[in-house]
Amino acid sequence: MNLDIRIDVSRARDAAVGREHGITRAELDKLQPRVSDAHAILQRERAEGQYGFWDLYKQSGVFDDVKAAAARFAQKGYDNLVVLGIGGSSLGTIALGAALLSPYHNLLSKGGRKGAPRLFVMDNIDPTVFREMMRICPPKKTLYNVISKSGGTAETMSQLMIVVDAIEKKLGSGAMKDHVVVTTNPRRSDAPPSLLHPVADEYGLTEFAVPLNVGGRFSVFSPVGMFPAAMLGMDLDAIRNGCAAMDQRCADADLKSNPAYLRAAIQYLADVNKGKSISVMLAYANGLYSIADWYRQLWAESLGKRYSLDGEEVFAGQTPVKALGATDQHSQIQLYREGPNDKLINTLETRKFARTLRIPPTLTSIAQLEYLRGASMNKLMAAELQGTLDALRLSQRPVSRIILPQINAHTVAQVLYLLEVETAMAGRLYNVNTFDQPGVEEGKKIARKLMGGEG
């Protein structure tokens, strides 16, 4: 079976939604030289190792270490894996968990989870939630993976302090190394010092490095995403193969053959030429919905920039929005069809679900339900999707589609890799620094200062 994901931008083109809202061949042709120049820059930056997300999947040694550590910790039979982290340090794991684990993973018996621990991702500092998590995941039965690239994020450090205190009180500090794994900046003289290093030293913790040239939101294929994935029994080789397959498809500059560049071009032109300042990601499977969340951070933090690379004030960036089909047909589609035509809608679809669910031929006294009797929920979902696509076209709303043959580690990795490359190209088209986040850093500093720490 062909496991390549498919990209279809035909519904974002003028032939589908008219010239006012759809991208024309002439617009794409005109953009091609800029895409080719940007490709050359991205390739140079990649070769020079300026940005490392492209090649994370090739780091066999890192994957071997992650797998070995996960196998070692798995022997201890933890009930729970708790990830402490925020933003780029957590959204990848949430996306992978939602896509690749059973929808009710945490409610299954250990056998039903094939021995894998339950997953709790603590990506906020809501005291009620965190306290309840600590009750549900007591230290004795839990492995906590604290993830912070900078190793100084207040939210994550406060979580860690609560966990360390609980372990010390319940199990003693000697047990820390069996219950806490650290993922942070590498120990290099040119790396900003991470506050997690002295913690790891003090307690002799297992530690993974996030490469210096990989930003948080581009780090899902580093130990940030891959150690939790290994602990949860995900197929890391299939993930690596998915990245490799998409890397290969994104190798040249031609908009006709490079799916990530084509998608970037469509999004960019939709924004600057057609006024589509909102980029909706509409997932048509619950398992894909958290990818929309991950994409929201990637697109927002990478492209939402005040200054261009030339120092001009540009206030660039589309606003990413997430939505779920069929649920949001009953919440958002009214706006998407009849409200301002300021959105490019990106669907995230799967041709096949893991399960087929037949609708039984029951309630026979109700003639109006005949069309559902004996059909399947799968068929109904496909019809809802098709109905939405066609309805959006009728209202001249552009749609760009990502279609998975099915949801698995190989196809999901392709999607994540595609969106990373797309974002890198989009940043070049907007002429902004894709890889920094001055707006986030500023807020972190202010909050630290307000707490009486160093600003």
Long-range contacts of 172-179 (CB under 8 A, 24+ apart): 173/203, 175/139, 176/203, 176/204, 176/205, 177/203, 177/204, 177/205, 177/206, 178/76, 179/139, 179/142, 179/143, 179/144
DSSP for residue 215: -
Per the annotation, the verdict on 301 as an active-site residue is: yes
The interface mask with ligand PA5, positions 338-357, x = CB under 6 A, is --------------------
Task: Find the shortest distance in angstroms from Cβ 116 to ligand PA5.
Answer: 24
As given in the structure block, the two tokens for residue 407 are 């949801």
Output 201 or 436, the one with its CB closest to ligand PA5.
436
Dump strand ranges (E) for 247-318. 278-283, 305-307, 313-316
86 near ligand PA5, judged by CB under 6 A: yes
CA angle 95-101-102, nearest 5°?
125
Q: Which of 22, 117, 216, 225 binds ligand PA5 (CB under 6 A)?
A: 216
- C-beta of 189: minimal distance to ligand PA5 in Å? 19
As a whole number of angstroms, the distance between CA 4 and CA 27 comes to: 28
Q: Answer yes or no: 276 catalytic.
A: no
Q: Which stretch binds ligand PA5 (CB under 6 A): 56-64, 142-150, 172-180, 343-351?
A: 142-150
Pairing outcome for strands 278-283 and 305-307: unpaired
Q: How far apart are CA 440 and CA 427, in angstroms?
A: 17
Q: Please give the residue whose beta carbon sits closest to ligand PA5 in the complex.
A: 216
* Chain residues 96-115 in contact with ligand PA5, contact rule CB under 6 A: none
Determine which one of 48, 256, 313, 330 is catalytic. Answer: 330
Please tell me the count of residues contacting ligand PA5 according to CB under 6 A: 15
Q: Of residues 80, 145, 153, 411, which one binds ligand PA5 by CB under 6 A?
A: 153
The verdict on whether 444 is a catalytic residue reads yes
Q: Is 92 a binder of ligand PA5 (CB under 6 A)?
A: no
| Residues within window 285-314 making contact with ligand PA5, judged by CB under 6 A | 301
Interaction of residue 197 with ligand PA5, rule CB under 6 A:
no
Q: Which of 78, 88, 129 minimizes the C-alpha distance to 232?
A: 78
Is residue 420 a contact residue for ligand PA5 (CB under 6 A)?
no
Distance of CA 228 to the CA centre of its chain: 14
> Is 440 one of the binding residues for ligand PA5 (CB under 6 A)?
yes
Do 194 and 148 contact (CB within 8 A), yes or no? Answer: yes
Exactly one of 301, 349, 420, 422 is catalytic; which is it? 301
Nearer to ligand PA5, 54 or 336 (CB): 54
Contact 149, 185 (CB under 8 A): yes
Q: By CB under 6 A, is residue 434 in contact with ligand PA5? A: no
Number of H helices, E strands in the chain: 16, 12
Enzyme catalytic residues: 301, 330, 444
Residues forming the site for ligand PA5 (CB under 6 A): 86-89, 148-150, 153, 156, 215-217, 301, 437, 440
